Amino acid sequence: MASQQEGPLTTSIRTTLTELLKPEALEIINDSAKHAHHSAMRGVDSKETHFRVNIVSEAFAGKSTMQRHRLIYGALNKDFEAGLHALSLNTKTPTEVAKASEA
């Protein structure tokens, strides 16, 4: 569920990933404040530049981690053009999550 405090970039990421991947679980964490002091962020006013995304989707079945990440990066190209600077991705299938919880 989208938070009322989500900014436009967070909302765009959520919408794009939901439509593309039909996730069973999607968590988007805005880590931008942790990176505001980095030299690459000097002069950047956006509060939405760095995110951690945890996503569980059957769409990842049969794909390597690199393929999963490329799929997401490609889908979010417009968001990178709009100011998204960095993503940290955790991509799992429902089966992988179930196996991890059994261990």
Q: What is the CATH number of the domain that holds 80?
A: 3.30.300.90
pTM: 0.81
Would 6 be classed as within a structural domain?
no
Confidence of residue 40 (pLDDT cuts 50, 70, 90): very low
Domain that holds residue 52: 16-102
4 in a structural domain: no
Contacts 24+ apart (CB under 8 A), 15-20: 16/75, 16/76, 16/79, 17/53, 17/55, 17/72, 17/75, 17/76, 20/59, 20/71, 20/75
pLDDT at 37: 53
Q: What percent of the chain has pLDDT over 90?
A: 65
Of 57, 67, 49, 63, the C-alpha closest to 27 is 57
